[in-house]
Chains A and B, each alone.
Chain A
Amino acid sequence: MKDCDVCVIGSGAGGAPVAFEAARAGFSVVVLEKGPWFTEKDFYKDELACCHRRPFRSSHLDEPQVIEEPADGGWSALPTSDPKSGHDYWNGNCVGGSSNFMSGQFFRLKPDDFHLLDTFGPIAGANIADWPISYDDLEPYYARVEREVGVSGRVVSHRFAEPRSTADFPFPPTREHVLAGWIDRACGELGLTPLPVARAILPAPARGRGGCQYSGFCGSYGCASGAKGGARAALLDRAVATGRCEIRPHAHVFKLTSDHRGRVTGALYYDREGIQRRVDAHVYVVACQAIESARLLLLSTGPKHPRGLGNNRGQVGRNLIFSAGATGAGHLPYDGMDAGVVEEMKQIGPFVNRGLQDWYHIEDPALGGRAKGGTIDFVLNSPGYLARALSERFAEDGTLVWGATLKRRLEQVFKTSRILRFEIFCDWLPQDDCFVTLDPVVKDKWGLPVARVRIGRHPHDDRVSQYLSDRARPVLERMKFRDVVSAPNGAPTPNLQAGGCRFGADPATSVLDSHCRVHDVENLYVSDGSFMPTGGSVPFTFTIYANSFRVADHVVSMLPRP
């Protein structure tokens, strides 16, 4: 007698759609989540909780990871428990995962993103692979995410617009800041096509959830109204309401056991008291975010999988990717501005919701001719002050700033201008030096080997992001923003992880089949971003959600009818 039909490990955007659809179809589901179970009643606009302490993220002392970075022609390794590390790949260890804390900017991939190799050809040193499915295969699931998770926006025609099965988004756009209109005008004058950016945020109450409260404290903060389409608010609460989905928080899965045929036979986990427990299911779905999903598979050795589940060809953990890109910003002084405009500029709450994809494909000899470009996304700076204030205690020469000088700096930063930022999203090319293995020495608080992550980057990525930054800055300058600067991302995007268990037709070069089932494990799926051979030039979350709904349909179709 099994405990349930489906056991989902990890409750974020990768796992929740499977739990939701399986429960809706009448199957019993157990979701094992390492972190606690917070709800809207626990989320407040608390900058300390959000960004400077760790109630929502695992402790590096209890659960370190080891990060390898390039150094002197080789690689240096440091555990994240070392104060000098600076790396942090924990993003939201609680029910609903990091989707609780996302900004919710939702972009679909483009049809060409599924066939980068075919469209643009190989790049030396990059392991680019085409997806085993096409955009048309995923399109119905993008539409389902828009409906079920709740995506608000407005479709406009443009050169790289994705084909859609529905005319428009099911929810109208969220309220917009005055700068959205400024961006539209500036882009129009520059001959560009500003795009309304869709968001996984409900502008008004719907689906039993509240509408956006427009507090301005959105990205990095949990949503107090349920308007943000995090996996718990949008899907798991509804799954639990069916009576067929049980969520077990504080359940750290450390091994999937398997039998002599290679089938998974159980999920072993430690509960809050450190007691070892087990769940037996017909089907297992892993969705712990890319780094930790690869780690769990590598930890799960068995008679047919001596190197870890799905790793007989040594592919698990390889071709890890993030989102490459850059950030930039400028400031618009209030001095000389009409008082009414100043008040509009100071408003927090409404969103800017503007992006540019004019250069999703680019032609540039420095990039080898025709090349894949990316997305420019305009965002207001965070309404929280603390992080910026902390940086102001250091002068440009590194000396400390205090006293009246510090106070004048704070006044200058916070009281005299509006800051507008832009973020560049472009492909992080998969390559041999970006991967996950198990560290041979460092253990977590349960005594288990931690993930060891090598962070290798392809130089092409920075060239593309520089190309896009060079085209984003003029938009701000057109609006009279001053001191417009930009720089490539100095580190990987910890909240945008993918790859490590790429899907494909050939078991020699991939871990998962086209349904995201492990090639040689008939009852094991990986449904987070791990499946992605390439990541597209947009944030991944929309695609992770959509693919998980696609996986859910397959899982449900394979189970005997309840």
Chain B
Amino acid sequence: MLRRRAFLKSLTAGAGLVLGVTEIADAAPVPAATDAGSDPLWEIIASVQAHLLPVEAGAPGAAQINAIGYLRAALDAPDADPQEKKFLLAGAGWLQKTWVRDHAGGSFDTLTVSGREALLRRMERGSEAGRNWLALLLYYLLEALLTDPVYGGNTREAGWKWLDYIPGFPRPPADKRYFELLKR
């Protein structure tokens, strides 16, 4: 799994994710159902994405590139590592139940921008698991920003237009997305 491998390679502590999953899992077990029953967790993730890639004039934010839709599709792709989805959802619950409760109170959504920033930085510094969780969210955010819109992100090529990206041609049609090629 290249994305997971690339993600791990980029971290300074190689065994971090393994420890991190355990740490998070202990604090916030993943709900059995991850569809309707887990929507609050996805909402927390979307809020964190919006903080990590904020809306600016002339530069798209997470919602403008459909970052949450992209992430959900990527985590459900046929070749996806189920551990990643489990880890991200568990992390969202952990963020709310441990970090927001202990350090701020209320919910992540009700924090100010500076309050969110302080909390996420504290989470990054205070826990290898938290750092891994944020790094993985950033990984998929950047994929949503820069991959071909056929994968569900980069809405109306907003990420490409912002960064003067010139796509190659021909571009992949839906029936030639990488996971379709995996069936060959």
Q: What is the interface of chain A, defined by CB distance below 8 A to chain B?
A: 36-38, 42, 44-49, 52-56, 60-61, 83-86, 88, 213, 215-217, 221, 224, 346, 348, 383, 385-386, 389-391, 393-394, 398-400, 402-404, 406-407, 410-411, 414-415
Contacts and interface: CB of A to CB of B under 8 A. Distances in A.
A191 to B, nearest CB: 36
A401 to B, nearest CB: 8
B156 interface: no
Contact of B177 (A37, A49, A389, A390): A49
A472 to B, nearest CB: 27
A86 B168 contact: no
B59 A407 contact: yes
B10 A383 contact: no
Contacts of B17: 83
A36 B169 CA distance: 23
A36 B2 CA distance: 20
A42 B178 contact: no
B138 A393 contact: yes
A391 B135 CA distance: 11
A466 B131 CA distance: 36
Contacts of A213: 169
Contact of A414 (B6, B14, B165): B165
A8 B5 CA distance: 33
A461 to B, nearest CB: 23
Q: In terms of DSSP, what is the predominant structure of the interface of chain A?
A: loop
B72 interface: no
B15 interface: yes
Contacts of B79: 53-54
Contacts of B52: 402-403, 406
A348 B167 CA distance: 10
A178 to B, nearest CB: 16
9 contacts: A36-B181, A46-B176, A47-B148, A54-B79, A61-B1, A348-B166, A389-B146, A390-B10, A406-B53
Given A389-B146, A390-B10, A399 B56 contact: no
Interface of B: 1-6, 8-10, 12, 14-15, 17, 51-54, 56, 59, 79, 117, 120, 124, 131, 134-135, 138-139, 142-143, 145-148, 151, 163-173, 176-179, 181-182, 184
B49 to A, nearest CB: 10
B178 A53 contact: yes
Contacts of B4: 83
Given A53-B178, A217-B168, A86 B148 contact: no
B108 to A, nearest CB: 15
Contacts of B165: 385, 414
Contacts of A221: 168
A299 to B, nearest CB: 26
B124 to A, nearest CB: 6
A415 B134 CA distance: 26
Contacts of B146: 47, 385-386, 389
- Residue among A36, A217, A390, A391 with most chain B CB within 10 A: A390
